[in-house]
Amino acid sequence: MGFGPIPRQQMPNRCRLVNDGLSGICQEHQGRFAAYAALPLTDISAAAAELERAMGLPGMVGAQLPGNAFLTGKDAETMRPVLEVANRHRALLFIHHGPRPGDAFPKVAGDTDNARRRNGTLDMQASLSSVMVTLCLTDYLASYPEVMIHVHNLGGNIPYEVERMDHRSLLDTPKEELPSARFRRAKVYVDCNSFGPRAIEAAVHLYGAERIVCGTDGTEFGCDWTRKALAEAQIGEDAHEQILHRNAAAMLARHATVAQREKAAA
């Protein structure tokens, strides 16, 4: 039995049900889980209101947002009401490759040669690269200093392409700060989901180990793969431990401290 699209008017209620259920799981297994809220992105005002509500639920640390909402600065303008709520609560936002409501997706039709490779790697990584350019090479996040952003899959292809970006910048706009410097100091985290040791090494070189968290995208898909990749990456033991454990723990601990202060103030 299949399920069709959820009617627009039902989205806020469906998201509330999902978020209440996720919070219930977090409470039932206290200390083991934290959750990102689902938001009704067909209506950004409703999405901001649901994030406001969800941040008051036990176990909720932020929300997941689609990468297509940040492909350009113009796209990202629509998301400002959500970012404003997230900033007030010092929330975590997980930006994952995916469409906004109404976007054609996936981009490559199933009858195209190598459709899974084109959609699942080529387009995904290129799209995430565009997300990182929006977040790191514009001043979009300047208004939201308390938000913690996490982009998956090493932030696209940026670790491989940044040297060319720097070269083009030196030729085209020599008075501007180099893209590599701006990526390095941006307050954006990435994860190492599904990547191998050489890619992780490149990401550590660009972002710094303190900006990378362990990502697996599910137990069967990548836990063993990611552990092996991290073990083989020539990044040093301290960087290995940062990525495998410490960075994510620090992110969650930061939010937990904020939540405790808000609860005490209430």
Q: Which residue has the tokens 């992110």?
A: 251
Give the model's pLDDT for residue 222. Answer: 77
Whats the size of the chain, residue-wise? 266
CA distance 155 to 187: 13
What ranges make up the beta strands (E) of 128-259?
A: 148-151, 188-191, 212-213
DSSP state of 210: G
pLDDT value at position 1?
40
Q: Decide if 158 contacts 194 (C-beta within 8 A).
A: no
pLDDT of amino acid 259: 59
Asked if 50 and 37 count as a contact pair (C-beta separation under 8 A), the reply is yes
Given a contact cutoff of 8 angstroms between Cβ atoms, the answer to whether 171 and 158 are in contact is no
Would the pTM of this model clear 0.75, i.e. be above it? yes
Q: Given this model, what pLDDT does residue 266 score?
A: 57
Per-residue pLDDT of the chain (266 residues; tens, 9 = 90+): 444 566 777 889 999 999 999 999 999 998 889 999 999 999 999 999 999 999 999 999 999 999 999 999 999 999 999 999 999 999 999 999 999 999 999 999 999 999 999 999 999 999 999 999 999 999 999 999 999 999 999 999 999 999 999 999 999 999 999 999 999 999 899 999 999 999 999 999 999 999 999 998 877 777 899 999 999 999 999 999 999 999 999 998 877 665 555 555 55
Q: Please report the pLDDT score of residue 262 as a whole number.
A: 59
Q: Which residues contact 229 (CB under 8 A, 6 or more apart)?
A: 192, 195, 196, 197, 199, 200
Of the options 3.40.190.10, 3.20.20.140, 1.10.3720.10, 3.40.1160.10, the CATH number for the domain spanning 33-265: 3.20.20.140
Q: What are phi and psi of 218, to 5 degrees?
A: 110, 155
What count of other Cβ atoms lies within 10 Å of the Cβ of residue 241?
13
Two structure tokens written together for 21:
């259920």
How many CA atoms lie within 13 Å of 44's alpha carbon, on the beta-carbon side?
15
Distance CA 262, CA 122 (A): 42
Backbone φ and ψ for 177, nearest 5 degrees, come out as -60, 140
For residue 151, what are the β-bridge partners? 95, 190
Cα 153 to chain centroid, rounded = 9
- Residue-level pLDDT at 221: 73
**Contact 131/151 with Cβ under 8 angstroms?**
yes
